Amino acid sequence: MKRYIKNILPAAAMLLTVGLSSCIGDLDVTPIDPNKRTELDPVALFNQCYANLSIEGLEGPGKSTVTADDPGTTGLVRQYFNANELTTDEAICSWNDPGVATMNTNEQGASNAFLAIYYNRLYSGISVCNHYLDVASDVDATRTAEVRFLRALQFYLAMDAFGNIALPLTVSTEKPVQRTRAEVYAWLEKELLDIEPLLTEPKAKKSTDAGYGRADKAAVWMLLTRLYLNAEVYSGTAQWQKAAEYAEKVIKSDYKLFTAGTANYSAYQMLFMGDNGESGASVEAVLPLLQQGNKTAAFGNTTFLIASTYDGDMPDHGISGVWAGNRARRELVQKFFPGTPPTGTTNDILTAAGDKRALFYAKDRTLEISNTDAIKDFKKGYSVVKFTGIKSDGSPVTDTGHADTDFFFFRVAESYLAYAEATARLNGGTATTQGITYLNELRKRSGAAELRGFSLREILNERSREFYFEGQRRTDLIRYGYFGGDNNYMWSWKGGAPNGRTFDVRRNIFPLPASDLSVNPNLKQNPGY
């Protein structure tokens, strides 16, 4: 399916004769007209539903279905990262792009440009899915179920980030009404349970296999796991048993932890390399977002994750971009080094850490980011070399300007950690025997020493070591009560103070974009903004 999608996407722009605009403002997608169904290619429209997750637009780099001063900023993964990593104890960015500085310090407002792009990207994708469901839902039952899943995934991300959101389920010029977070949670649960039996059975694939990159039942189970793990935040009622149940469905499926490293690269490294769809690493990829430099040519997904974390003084990373923006806050590094972290090359740090997940570069870097000028200096803070465009077999990349590296949105490792946390919460706050086994499987993969037990806090730390820079940290911190509100969990520049300070719990959700509020009277701004 990787080859199929990547080859057909460019053609989709020609096949879709009906305009599909972004849903900036009132979520309007005119001039979509259901009466023009005969002018559409259902396969092309189906592919566009997936394309919203992987590329900025159908016309190549520099073009986007979401309006922005820089179209390259509109990729889903790019803004997913900004919203969920820059606002936490893991990442900080040196750039002056509108919106970056305030996200670094949890001071974002309703006019934050990057949050508006994230919101509009999600609703643009929802609009395309709605269009498919309006005009082509009877063409293929499995494809229809997949599109419903893609729509649910984007509604989930919008609800997680923005709280009370609109829930448009059809293309319409009517202004959508706002739903409470609990209402959206209930709709998501029902929708995912309804479509589960309609999807294909879980099957791990490589990029050369038909169906690679398409959602199956395991993708639903992963999203249900995330939904239930955070159910208390979203709905007010915890669902730890359900979270554990669906996590275990994934664990027992055809998808597995990838453990087959090479002489040159660890299994963990290979999850984030340019041939991760071909090397065998994709056995762990429950939902890969597809990238191939010479076909998808996107600046907003893994190209961003690679180029934004490298500078010209660092080793080769497989593509030409060295944007020198995102790097680690000290708290992330300290997850691997409770004492004084070492400096030096990545190999130096990996050796000292005894954990193959410690993918940092610290030659001529400082751990501390001591003042506002230091925030703007890329060499203040350790560089992160987790994502790379290099291929593990040494083969050339398809395009040095854009990465071939797929983004594994859901990985099997997440189900291991979710199961461990959910069952620990049912077990008085300590990991169960099975939970310990799953956690140690992850540590064994990374070469870290196995542990005899884990507290909830230790499970959270393990989540950070496993998933840093993958867009999960903000949600994790909120679930633990460590984000907004009066708590004792601080990190550097939290709330705008060098050593951190508390900010209002109402900032656990982001503001709705002012641009949408101005055109839709049905929307009410989130409290605190």
**Same domain as 310, residue 177:** no
| Confidence band of 62 (pLDDT split at 50, 70, 90) | confident
The backbone torsions φ and ψ at residue 431, rounded to the nearest 5 degrees and listed phi first, read -65, 140
* pLDDT at residue 304 tops 80: yes
- Last residue of a domain, which of 345, 369, 384? 384
| Confidence band of 472 (pLDDT split at 50, 70, 90) | very high
Burial of residue 440 (CB within 10 Å: 0-12, 13-18, 19+) is buried
Measured CA angle at 32 (ends 30, 33), to 5 deg: 125
CA distance 448 to 65: 44
| Encoded tokens for 345 | 């090359």
- Last residue of a domain, which of 354, 384, 414? 384
Helix (H, G, I), strand (E, B) or coil at 316: coil
Looking at the domain assignment, is residue 262 inside a domain? no
Looking at the domain assignment, is residue 436 inside a domain? no
**Same domain as 150, residue 41:** yes
CATH (domain of 142):
1.25.40.390
Looking at the domain assignment, is residue 263 inside a domain? no
pLDDT the model gives residue 11: 29
**Same domain as 301, residue 194:** no
**Same domain as 316, residue 191:** no
Looking at the domain assignment, is residue 7 inside a domain? yes
Q: How many CB atoms lie within 10 A of CB 49?
A: 24
Q: Residue 324 is inside which H or E element, if any?
A: none
**Same domain as 302, residue 156:** no
**Same domain as 189, residue 40:** yes
CA distance 305 to 123: 23
Looking at the domain assignment, is residue 517 inside a domain? yes
| Encoded tokens for 285 | 């990829």
**Same domain as 305, residue 156:** no
CATH (domain of 368):
1.10.3780.10
Portion of the chain with pLDDT greater than 90, in percent: 88
CA distance 260 to 206: 15
Q: What is the CA radius of gyration of the chain?
A: 22
* pLDDT at residue 9 tops 60: no
The backbone torsions φ and ψ at residue 417, rounded to the nearest 5 degrees and listed phi first, read -70, -35
**Same domain as 9, residue 152:** yes
* pLDDT tens-place string over residues 78-111: 999 999 999 999 999 999 988 999 999 999 999 9
**Same domain as 3, residue 117:** yes
Portion of the chain with pLDDT greater than 70, in percent: 93
pLDDT the model gives residue 12: 31
Q: Which amino acid, one-letter code, is at 290?
A: L
* pLDDT tens-place string over residues 16-45: 322 232 232 323 333 334 344 446 799 999
Looking at the domain assignment, is residue 3 inside a domain? yes
**Same domain as 511, residue 366:** no
Q: Which amino acid, one-letter code, is at 175?
A: K
Domain ranges, residue 329 = 296-384
Looking at the domain assignment, is residue 478 inside a domain? no
For the chain, the domain total comes to 2
**DSSP per-residue string spanning 182-218:** HHHHHHHHHHHHHHGGGSPPP----TTSTTTTS--HH
Contact partners, residue 372, CB within 8 Å, separation at least 6: none
- Last residue of a domain, which of 384, 415, 434? 384
Looking at the domain assignment, is residue 287 inside a domain? no
pLDDT the model gives residue 307: 98
| Encoded tokens for 116 | 């508006």
Mean predicted confidence (pLDDT) in 249-277:
98
Average pLDDT, the chain: 92
CA distance 497 to 354: 32
pLDDT the model gives residue 21: 29
The least confident of 31-35, 389-393, 405-409, 456-460 is 31-35
CA distance 464 to 402: 27
**Same domain as 342, residue 193:** no
**Same domain as 310, residue 167:** no
| Encoded tokens for 74 | 């509109």
Within 382-429, where are the H helices? 412-425
Assessment of whether the complete model's pTM goes beyond 0.85: yes
CA distance 152 to 51: 15
Residue closest to 301 by CA, chosen among 93, 64, 34: 64
